[in-house]
């Protein structure tokens, strides 16, 4: 899928494309899924920033490799790699400390994920190499305490002063 095609995709086709490659439970917390599943998958997708959905769909199609976000639905350990809501421990912990937090995850503008057969560093390097083709500017977490993180954090929290692919450290 080209940059032009992804930028001009209808909302209906965007949602169908995302759901072709991701189970909606990968993108939301167990608490949110339990509470709102009766509204259907499009309810959840409509909460995400469109730029994030377009970008992750473009990446998934372009790479042709499986991308894994949350794993709780397969009894895995990850449940806060998509949208972080008031049912998630990270948000609850900050709320009890009265700690303001404008994470891309809370704003439905970020995902953490792994790519089949690639390290996070390899994937970040690939994103840098194809940045002109990306549908939107992105930010990537790079290092934690000086060491490359082992997952991919991608968000669309765009700042015009940043390059198209902006690496930042946490």
pLDDT digits (tens, 9 = 90+) for 69-123: 999 999 999 988 988 776 666 655 666 666 556 677 778 999 999 999 999 999 9
CA distances in angstroms from 104 to 40, 79, 100, 113, 114, listed in the order given: 23, 15, 13, 14, 18
To the question of pTM greater than 0.85 for the whole model, the response is: yes
Question: Which of 78-87, 90-99, 135-144, 159-168 comes out lowest in average pLDDT?
Answer: 90-99
* Rounded Cα gap, residues 104 and 151, in angstroms: 16
Question: Which of 13-17, 45-49, 77-81, 91-95 comes out lowest in average pLDDT?
Answer: 91-95
Assign residue 88 a region (left: φ > 0; alpha: ψ between -120 and 50; beta: otherwise): beta
Work out the average pLDDT over 164-170.
95
């Amino acid at each position: 899928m080209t940059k032009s095609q992804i930028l001009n995709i209808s909302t209906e086709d965007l949602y169908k494309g995302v759901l072709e490659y991701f189970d909606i439970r990968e993108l939301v917390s167990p608490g949110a899924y339990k509470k709102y599943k009766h509204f259907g998958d499009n309810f959840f997708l409509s909460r995400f920033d469109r730029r994030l959905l377009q970008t992750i769909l473009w990446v998934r199609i372009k790479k042709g490799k499986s991308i894994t976000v949350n794993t709780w639905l397969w009894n895995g350990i990850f449940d806060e790699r998509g949208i972080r809501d008031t049912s998630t421990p990270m948000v609850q912990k900050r709320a009890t400390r009265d700690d303001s937090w404008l994470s891309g995850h809370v704003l439905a503008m970020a995902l953490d994920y792994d790519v089949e057969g690639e390290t996070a560093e390899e994937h970040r390097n690939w994103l840098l190499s194809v940045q002109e083709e990306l549908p939107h500017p992105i930010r990537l977490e790079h290092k934690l305490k000086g060491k490359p993180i082992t997952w991919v954090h991608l968000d669309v929290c765009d700042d015009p002063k940043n390059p198209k692919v902006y690496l930042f450290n946490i």
